[in-house]
Amino acid sequence: MDKFKRRGLKQSGSVLPALKARASRFEWAKGQSAVEFAMVSLLFFFLIFAVIDYAYIFFAQMNIQQAIDDGGRFASTGNHTTVITGGNPTTLSRLTSIEDYIQNEISIPGINVTNNLVVCDQSGSGGCNNTNGTAPAGNPGDMVTISLTTSLGLTTAMLAKLFTGGNYTFTASTTFQNEPFNPSQTN
């Protein structure tokens, strides 16, 4: 019968049940920490990628605006670009020269200047066009506006849902007055 006597609180005995209870609580806490980390890390990574997307959008918009400004400065001088193909120099039209100059200034991939550039002669001699008219970028002294409307895709899927088609669309434009140059250079 001594075998089955209960021990008192001050007597030594097995502590295994107490350790097991504590261990299971710590394991549960470790699992809870993993779940909390997973939830917080999703929000953290979303915010990081959203900041990266917005930074890229602002960089692209500034780069394209600078290219349009530089193209306007080039256009105001009445200059043309000469391209050498097959050993023969070819002078491009004034509008094609402006498009080529702007395209070379843009460092953002996938921007098509030829299809999205609009040149408006505010003085009425050439009108708003992006084709080779009589004076697509105006005559000497004319006020001319160059604008480019383009879109950029966003990489963060949840952020892309906030924009139509997942793209951020913007317009960059500049207005300038043509310098005095030889009127035969307007084509």
Contacts of residue 97, Cβ cutoff 8 Å, sequence gap at least 6: 74, 79, 80, 81
Q: Give pLDDT tens digits for 87-143.
A: 788 788 888 889 999 999 999 998 999 899 998 887 765 556 555 445 678 888 888
In this predicted structure, what is the pLDDT of residue 104? 93
Residues 65-72: what's their mean pLDDT? 95
Q: Which helix (H) or strand (E) holds 152?
A: strand 143-153
Residues 42-69: what's their mean pLDDT? 94
Q: Is 81 helix (H, G, I), strand (E, B) or coil?
A: coil
Q: Which helix (H) or strand (E) holds 86?
A: none
* Mean pLDDT of the residues in the chain: 81
34 CB burial (10 A radius; 0-12, 13-18, 19+)? exposed
Please, where are the H alpha helices in 2-116? Answer: 16-76, 94-105, 113-116
* Whole-angstrom distance, CA of residue 141 vs CA of residue 180: 6
In this predicted structure, what is the pLDDT of residue 7? 57
Residue 111 tokens read as 């921007």
Range in 23-27, 29-33, 77-81, 138-142 with the lowest mean pLDDT: 23-27
* Whole-angstrom distance, CA of residue 113 vs CA of residue 104: 10
In this predicted structure, what is the pLDDT of residue 132? 46
